[in-house]
């Protein structure tokens, strides 16, 4: 069976208007809105739903406050969906509603699977030139004024049931990509694909909760351009830009009014059945090869926590007035 990614993420939030502005700045398209309900989508039609947290139609929350209330995964074909059904029927709260199968995972989160509603896209990232291979010839790399995320690429949750949630997702076809033994499992939806679609982290005192929702963009230039735009809009960086040693992705995390953190990322490792999961000891050098705390100021284009680089705060190439 083959699940190909995330089709929809639903948030229950305290402040719907704040989320409206935030996700428009983030680069999502608002496709419909009503009192207490916003339906956004990414470039390929992956849905991001915002609902007031007391909306009675929402599944139960896994934690207090604004957070993810449901994740719906994309099955490639009806046969893939049927294969998931066999694994999901034994899970709590199993039901079929229209074209979607639902149940509750061992972390308490509502999970759905449906044949994908996303659209095939023809978008092009910008390749990097390396010493041995000129992949970009007679072509400058782009500078993005803002990001336009392609899709929700992965979700990350805290759990106190690492073994059980891992087993649940493996039963519906997910594969282990890498591990912090006993503490964290990176899982991808199928053998061939991006490094992880879901990551569970169990710390000694962790309870179920959201850590972040990550949006894939075309290339590292869009990570930087998107982050700089968010900075100019006044949104607060949690960490980034930076680079993860596990997955190799470039990242930029922001604090989100929809709960926890939100991430732009690009250039993650792509794995196949030939990949052997690796074990890592958690620590700062494993989380980030490098990262900028506090982000880059989108106006001065310098890291926020650094002082001016010259006596008048200008780059050496800038015109002095």
Q: For Fe ion, what does the binding mask look like between residues 198 and 217, x meaning CB under 5 A? A: ----------------x---
- Tell me if residue 227 falls in helix, strand or coil: helix
**Closest CB 6 distance from Fe ion, rounded Å:** 12
Indicate the burial class of 11 (C-beta count within 10 angstroms; 0-12, 13-18, 19 or more): buried
* Closer residue to Fe ion in complex, CB, 16/71: 71
The answer to whether 263 contacts Fe ion (rule: CB under 5 A) is yes
**Closest CB 37 distance from Fe ion, rounded Å:** 27
Q: Measured between alpha carbons, how far is 200 from 31 in angstroms, rounded to an integer?
A: 31
Task: State the residue number with the nearest CB to Fe ion.
Answer: 214
Contacting range for Fe ion; rule: CB under 5 A; set: 66-74, 85-93, 257-265, 269-277: 257-265
The answer to whether 268 contacts Fe ion (rule: CB under 5 A) is no
Q: Measured between alpha carbons, how far is 85 from 56 in angstroms, rounded to an integer?
A: 26
Instruction: Please tell me the number of Cα atoms within 13 Å of 104 on its side-chain side.
Output: 13
Contacting range for Fe ion; rule: CB under 5 A; set: 16-24, 92-100, 165-173, 259-267: 259-267
**Closest CB 204 distance from Fe ion, rounded Å:** 22
* Closer residue to Fe ion in complex, CB, 80/263: 263
* Closer residue to Fe ion in complex, CB, 38/262: 262
* Closer residue to Fe ion in complex, CB, 91/291: 291
The answer to whether 1 contacts Fe ion (rule: CB under 5 A) is no
* Closer residue to Fe ion in complex, CB, 58/288: 288
Q: What is the DSSP string of 175-198?
A: EEEEEETTTEEEEESSSSEES-SE
C-beta separation of 177 from 196 below 8 A: yes
Report in angstroms the alpha-carbon separations of 102 from 89, 94, 107: 9, 5, 14
Q: Which residues pair with 32 in a beta bridge?
A: 39
**Closest CB 174 distance from Fe ion, rounded Å:** 16
**Closest CB 301 distance from Fe ion, rounded Å:** 24
**Closest CB 253 distance from Fe ion, rounded Å:** 8
C-beta separation of 172 from 2 below 8 A: no
Q: Measured between alpha carbons, how far is 288 from 251 in angstroms, rounded to an integer?
A: 9
Residue with token string 């503490």: 183
**Closest CB 212 distance from Fe ion, rounded Å:** 6
- Report CA 316 to chain centroid distance, whole Å: 37
How many residues touch Fe ion under the rule CB under 5 A: the total is: 2
Positions that interact with Fe ion (CB under 5 A): 214, 263
């Amino acid at each position: 069976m083959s699940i190909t990614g995330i089709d929809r993420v639903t948030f229950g939030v305290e402040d719907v208007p704040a989320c409206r502005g935030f996700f428009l700045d983030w680069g999502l398209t608002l496709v419909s809105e009503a009192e207490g309900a916003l339906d956004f989508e990414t470039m390929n039609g992956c849905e991001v739903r915002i609902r007031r947290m007391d909306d009675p139609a929402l599944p139960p929350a896994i934690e207090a406050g604004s957070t993810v209330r449901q994740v719906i995964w994309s099955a490639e074909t009806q046969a893939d969906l049927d294969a998931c059904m066999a694994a999901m029927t034994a899970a709590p709260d199993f039901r079929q509603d229209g074209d979607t199968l639902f149940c509750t995972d061992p972390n308490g989160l509502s999970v759905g699977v449906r044949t994908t509603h996303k659209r095939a896209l023809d978008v092009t990232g910008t390749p990097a030139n390396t010493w041995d291979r000129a992949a970009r010839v007679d072509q400058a790399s782009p500078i993005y004024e803002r990001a336009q995320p392609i899709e929700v690429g992965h979700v990350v949750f805290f759990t106190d049931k690492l073994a059980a949630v891992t087993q649940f997702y493996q039963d519906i076809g997910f594969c282990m990509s890498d591990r912090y033994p006993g503490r964290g499992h990176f899982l991808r939806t199928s053998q061939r694909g991006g490094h992880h679609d879901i990551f569970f982290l169990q710390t000694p005192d962790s309870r179920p909760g959201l850590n972040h929702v990550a949006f894939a963009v075309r290339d590292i230039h869009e990570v930087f351009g998107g982050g700089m735009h968010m900075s100019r809009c006044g949104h607060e960086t949690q960490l980034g830009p930076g680079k993860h040693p596990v997955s190799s992705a470039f990242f930029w995390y922001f604090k989100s009014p929809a709960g926890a953190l939100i991430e732009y990322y690009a250039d993650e490792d792509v794995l196949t059945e030939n990949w052997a999961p690796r074990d890592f000891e958690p620590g700062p050098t494993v989380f980030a090869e490098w990262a900028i705390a506090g982000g880059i100021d989108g106006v001065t284009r310098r890291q926020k926590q650094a002082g001016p680089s010259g006596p008048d705060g200008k780059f050496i190439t800038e015109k002095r007035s």
